[in-house]
Amino acid sequence: MQLYNLGLLVASFVASVGAVSTFTPARPPAVPLAVKSPYLSTWLDAGSDGGNGGYLAGEWPTFWENQITGWCGLIRVDGVAYTWMGLPGSTTVDQVSLEYTSTKSIFTMNVAGAVEMNITFMSPITPNDLKRQSLVFSYLNVEVSSLDGNDHDVQVYADISAEWVSGDRTTIAEWEYGTTDDVAYHKVYRQTQLAFSEVDQQGEWGYWYWATDVSDSMTYQAGEDTVVRGQFSSNGTLENTINTDYRAISDDWPVFAFSSNLGSVSSSPVSTLFSIGLTQDEAVQFEGASAYGPVQSLWKAYFDTELDALSFFHTDFATSSSLSSEFDAKVTSDSSALGGENYVTMTSLSARQAFGATQLCGTEDKMYLFLKEISSDGNVNTVDVIFPAYPFFLYSNPEFLKLVMAPLYENQEAGKYPNDWAMHDMGSSYPNATGHNDGNDEKMPLEECGNMLIMTLAYAQLANDVDYLTQHYNLLTQWTGYLVNDSLYPANQISTDDFAGSLANQTNLALKGMIGIQAMSVIANKTGNTADAANYSTIAHDYIAKWQDLAINKNASPPHTTLSYGNWSSHGLLYNLFADAQLGTGLVPQSVYQMQSDFYPTVMNTYGVPLDTRHTYTKFDWQSFAAAISSTSTRSSFFQHISTWVNATTTNKALTDLYDTLTGDYPSTTFFARPVVGGSFAPLLVTN
Ligand SMILES: *[C@@H]1O[C@H](CO)[C@@H](O)[C@H](O)[C@H]1NC(C)=O
Ligand SMILES: *[C@@H]1O[C@H](CO)[C@@H](O)[C@H](O)[C@H]1NC(C)=O
Ligand SMILES: *[C@@H]1O[C@H](CO)[C@@H](O)[C@H](O)[C@H]1NC(C)=O
Ligand SMILES: *[C@@H]1O[C@H](CO)[C@@H](O)[C@H](O)[C@H]1NC(C)=O
Ligand SMILES: *[C@@H]1O[C@H](CO)[C@@H](O)[C@H](O)[C@H]1NC(C)=O
Ligand SMILES: *[C@@H]1O[C@H](CO)[C@@H](O)[C@H](O)[C@H]1NC(C)=O
Ligand SMILES: *[C@@H]1O[C@H](CO)[C@@H](O)[C@H](O)[C@H]1NC(C)=O
Ligand SMILES: *[C@@H]1O[C@H](CO)[C@@H](O)[C@H](O)[C@H]1NC(C)=O
Ligand SMILES: *[C@@H]1O[C@H](CO)[C@@H](O)[C@H](O)[C@H]1NC(C)=O
């Protein structure tokens, strides 16, 4: 942020490294701090490629794309100021531990041996409570207690900079201070709103709120960073003044601060709660059944005003916290039972990231879940990005899977997509769900037809919703026609792994098509279309018999499927097989499952099994799919290698899904913070 900080970087870094923190269940590449939507996405870099190892004090938190979102925490103990978050310059506290769960990142700090701090960043996940889930807000709770048996005089401080409101640091920010229902807030925003626009991936519209409790011990201030932080450090209180010289984000860096005077602190913990969030009345534009236009954020369906939403959120901490803890406990116990701590490392790090790519929109009667293909290209509701994440949606609440497919069905059923296969995405650039009236979307026909059929049946089965299948029967039939044409001998095309290039006769892609046809047979059966059910089942079984001859290298030791038909020297992760198990379609013989499960350990590298024989890189999500349908020992081996990678990679970006199995490094400048990590929940959806 400021030049003068650079000189202090070394000193602060050394101070941090001096105290060694533990990391439970592992040290993530980046720690989620406030991660709730494509625009509320602030992390702490950990991996050594740019991060400091995962220490909250000593570096600035960043937006997922890596630009700083200034967030500063100070504490004053007996008149001496220390930094607990960010890099403002003062001596840092000693970090003792970081623990993360699905919804929380909890840091424990030791301040000069005198007091302990528990600092909890919680981005709530409430899958069965869409009112709460619709709020694009996150909590920061700071608890302090005495460590040494003496009482200490303590004040806690936290601020945000205007870097949260725009990706352009020269843009003019504006701000105001107010209170509502005993909640004090700074409201910060781009002076010139640019609706539905992004700069460096940050949203350029809407209003940011940074809030705490109104109380006698609370003071506030908005002004230049060094001035405001200096005031707190030297005095312990702020001046209750707002500098209204609205200016560029980087012009004397305006910050928005609160201080809480905790007074004399004993061994009983005392806490201060902060909330941070974004309100946008309208979050996306959408080409649905009616004309292209804005869609309201879902929170608008529950709250009349932004302040109502803010006040509800901030005063809801106890309930929200207990709902989030319920979700945490479920993920932890389910994951632990299946795969121990290694698997807990994977799922609990993925949950906020998966939801963090989504935005709930619409009304209580007509909801949508919009999803941004973060970092890879910003497409909206990309079908083959939803597919790897579908286990997470199914696990948390199958309704989400329906809501994320809703825009795709609505657009295509309104006749707005000219091709006879399934559309790849809802638009090239989030938040503009323009559709593709010209049919010129990224062409991934077999992939997306298979994905839509599989996910549609997956939702309907778990939600027991046959009407949904009837409603979409015509389009599903059309897509099945495409699969019948193309899945036995797939034309030269790309699959979801488009970065690996295009190829004809892809074994794994063909399998997806065949499972899709069998899924349609089940759909036809459930909807009373007996003849169709029989026809599709016959075709799928005929294809899968042929596929076994075309795709399996029976002479290899051990035998395995190939990457593409007839290429006997090739192999790859047969991750689409997961859908056959998850849906219970029973199309593929158990011998194929067993064969692959026996094969994977023979090609396991330091950090996992390569995606295929073309490269040494692999995918976090697809390995999770493969693990889901492997024997207990192969599954454990996957979990162990993947979690070792999570803990060891030097990457400092939010959990990447594409990484090298030999170096643990990261072969791309994209593929991080993506919702596809929700695929880590796949093993929880099948019962072997
Ligand atoms: C993570 O790596 C650190 C440092 O190498 C090691 O001490 C720790 O045991 C590892 N944790 C896990 C869960 O692998
Ligand atoms: C921090 O959390 C631990 C574990 O829950 C607890 O024992 C301790 O009292 C807490 N300390 C503070 C300052 O809240
Ligand atoms: C979305 O469309 C609006 C025009 O309606 C445009 O101003 C904006 O830049 C677009 N957003 C993106 C991310 O392309
Ligand atoms: C802090 O500032 C206030 C207002 O200027 C002053 O009254 C108070 O004495 C100062 N406190 C300390 C500890 O410097
Ligand atoms: C079976 O389905 C295929 C593909 O949709 C179609 O071409 C064929 O006519 C169907 N056969 C029967 C008997 O319905
Ligand atoms: C399948 O192939 C037939 C024959 O080439 C063609 O008429 C039909 O349109 C194709 N169906 C789809 C959905 O692509
Ligand atoms: C696909 O495989 C079949 C069977 O091996 C072969 O006849 C066909 O030529 C292959 N297609 C392409 C495009 O290579
Ligand atoms: C669906 O499948 C069941 C079990 O195979 C069968 O008994 C039933 O007749 C089928 N229903 C339809 C409508 O095809
Ligand atoms: C067979 O697979 C290998 C490894 O993936 C690849 O390098 C080679 O080009 C493939 N050969 C053919 C004929 O496709």
User: Which atom of ligand 8 is nearest the CA belonging to 528?
Assistant: 13
pLDDT in tens, 54-97: 999 999 999 999 999 999 999 999 999 999 999 999 999 999 99
Rounded CA separation 167/65 (Å): 10
In whole angstroms, give the CA distance from residue 394 to residue 398: 4
* The last residue of a domain, from among 216, 246, 280: 280
pLDDT higher than 50, residue 13: no
CB 500 near ligand 9, within 6 Å: no
pLDDT, the chain, mean: 96
Residue 15 has what pLDDT?
Answer: 42
Residue 218 has pLDDT above 90, yes or no: yes
Our mutation pick for probing the ligand 1 site, out of 17, 21, 27, counting the most ligand atoms within 8 A of Cβ, is 27
Cα 525 to ligand 8 centre (Å)? 6
| Confidence (pLDDT) at 669 | 82
Pocket of ligand 8 from Cβ distances under 6 Å: 525, 528, 530, 533
N- to C-terminal Cα distance for the chain? 52
- What number does the ligand 8 atom closest to the CA of 527 have? 13
Q: Does residue 342 share a domain with residue 275? A: no
* CB-based contact 666:673 (threshold 8 Å): no
Does 134 fall in a domain? yes
**Is residue 637 pLDDT above 80, yes or no?**
yes
Q: List the helix and strand counts (H, then E) for the chain.
A: 16, 29
Ligand 7 mean position, distance from CA 489 (Å): 7
Distance 477 CA to ligand 5 centre (A): 10
**Closest protein CA for atom 5 of ligand 6:** 485
Where residue 668 falls among pLDDT bands split at 50, 70, 90?
confident
Instruction: Single out the residue of 321, 279, 324 nearest to residue 302, CA to CA.
Output: 279
218: in domain: yes
Pocket of ligand 1 (CB under 6 A): 26-27, 644, 647
Q: What is the mean pLDDT of residues 667-688?
A: 92
172 and 118 inside one domain: yes
Q: In what order do the strands lie in the sheet with 254-265?
A: 80-85, 71-77, 152-161, 254-265, 218-224, 241-242
Kindly state the percentage of the chain with pLDDT values over 70: 97
DSSP state of 44: E
Q: Is the CB of 103 under 6 A from ligand 7?
A: no
| pLDDT at residue 313 in the model | 98
Q: Looking at the CA of 532, which ligand is closest?
A: 5
Mutate to test the pocket of ligand 6, among 421, 485, 487 (most ligand atoms within 8 A of CB): 485
Task: Report CA(287)–ligand 3 centroid distance (Å).
Answer: 14
Q: Give pLDDT tens digits for 308-334.
A: 999 999 999 999 999 999 999 999 999
56 within a domain of the structure (yes/no): yes
State how far the Cα of 246 lies from the Cα of 224, in Å rounded to an integer: 11
Pair 507, 651 in one domain: yes
Q: Which ligand is nearest to the CA of 199?
A: 3
- Residue 206 is assigned to a structural domain of this protein: yes
Give the range of the structural domain holding residue 181, as residue numbers without chain letter: 6-280
- Angle ∠(228,232,233) on CA atoms, nearest 5: 115
Q: Could you write out the three-class secondary structure of 186-208?
A: EEEEECCCCCCCEECCEECCCEE
DSSP state at residue 20: P
Ligand 3 atom closest to the CA of 198, numbered from 1: 13
pLDDT at 688: 56
Q: How many alpha carbons fall within 13 Å on the CB side of residue 262?
A: 29
What is the atom index within ligand 1 of the atom nearest the CA of 345?
13
Question: b vs e for 658-688, b when ≥16 Cβ sit within 10 Å of the residue's Cβ?
Answer: bbbbeebebeeebbbbbbbbbbbbbbbbbee
What is the bridge-based pairing of β-strands 202-203 and 207-213? unpaired
Task: Give the pLDDT confidence score for residue 24 in this predicted structure.
Answer: 98
Alpha carbon of 531 to ligand 6 centroid (Å): 20
Q: Which atom of ligand 6 is nearest to 478's Cα?
A: 13
Decide whether any atom of ligand 9 lies within 6 Å of the 563 Cβ.
yes
Shortest-distance atom of ligand 1 to CA 341: 13
In this predicted model, what pLDDT tens digit does every residue of 339-398 receive, in sequence order? Answer: 999 999 999 999 999 999 999 999 999 999 999 999 999 999 999 999 999 999 999 999
Q: What is the 284 CA–ligand 3 centroid distance (Å)? A: 10
Same domain, 83 and 204: yes
Check whether 7 has a pLDDT greater than 70: no
Amino acid at 460: A
Instruction: Quote the pTM value.
Output: 0.96
What is the number of structural domains in the chain? 2
Residues 341 and 273 in one domain: no
Residues 525-554, mean pLDDT to the nearest whole number: 98
Out of 24, 105, 145, give the residue to mutate to test ligand 2, the one with the largest number of ligand atoms within 8 Å of its CB.
145
CB-neighbour burial class of residue 291 (10 A; exposed 0-12, middle 13-18, buried 19+): exposed
Candidate from 98, 118, 143 with most ligand 2 atoms within 8 A of CB, to mutate: 118
The reported pLDDT for the residue numbered 2 is 35
Q: Within a domain: residue 473?
A: yes
Residue 16 has pLDDT above 90, yes or no: no
Question: Could you read off the pLDDT of 600-614 as tens digits, one per residue?
Answer: 999 999 999 999 999
**Residue 114 and residue 78 in contact, taking contact as beta carbons nearer than 8 Å:** yes
The pLDDT of 272-298, averaged and rounded, is 98
Helices (H), 51-196: 130-133
| Cα of 505 from ligand 7 centre, angstroms | 6
In angstroms, what is the span from residue 577 Cα to ligand 7's centroid? Answer: 22
- Asked whether residue 308 is assigned to any structural domain, the reply reads no
Q: Domain check: are 262 and 334 in the same one?
A: no
pLDDT higher than threshold 70 for residue 241:
yes
| pLDDT at residue 18, as a whole number | 55
For residue 675, cis peptide bond before it (omega within 30 degrees of 0)? no
Final residue of a domain: which of 280, 308, 338? 280
Q: Of the residues 229, 255, 280, which one is the last residue of a structural domain?
A: 280
Say which ligand is closest to the CA of 491: 7
Whether residues 238 and 347 share a domain: the answer is no
Confidence of residue 4 (pLDDT cuts 50, 70, 90): very low
Residue with tokens 């004053």: 76
Q: Whose CA is nearest to atom 5 of ligand 4?
A: 239
- Whole-angstrom distance, CA of residue 84 vs CA of residue 115: 12
197 assigned to some structural domain? yes
CATH number at residue 86: 2.70.98
Atom 10, ligand 5: which residue's CA is nearest? 535
Q: What is the CATH number of the domain that holds 407?
A: 1.50.10.10
Q: Which two tokens stand for residue 8?
A: 């202090």
Q: How many CB atoms lie within 10 A of CB 217?
A: 15
Considering the domain architecture, whether residues 270 and 351 belong to the same structural domain is answered as no
Distance CA 596, CA 598 (A): 5
Q: Quick one: pLDDT band at residue 666, thresholds 50, 70, 90?
A: confident
CA dist list (Å): 370 to 85, 167, 480, 560: 32, 21, 25, 38
What number is the average pLDDT over the span 617-642? 98
Cβ neighbors of 114 (< 8 A, separation 6 or more) are: 77, 78, 146, 147, 148, 150, 152
Strand pairing of 62-63 and 22-24? unpaired
Indicate whether 472 belongs to any domain. Answer: yes
Residue 245 and residue 344 share a domain: no
User: Average pLDDT in the 294-306 region?
Assistant: 98
Identify the bridge partners of residue 117 per DSSP, sorted by sequence position.
Answer: 109, 144
Q: Are residues 648 and 537 in the same domain?
A: yes
Question: 262 and 360: one domain?
Answer: no
For residues 458 and 529, state if they share a domain: yes
CB atoms within 10 A of CB 240: 10
What pLDDT does 667 receive?
81
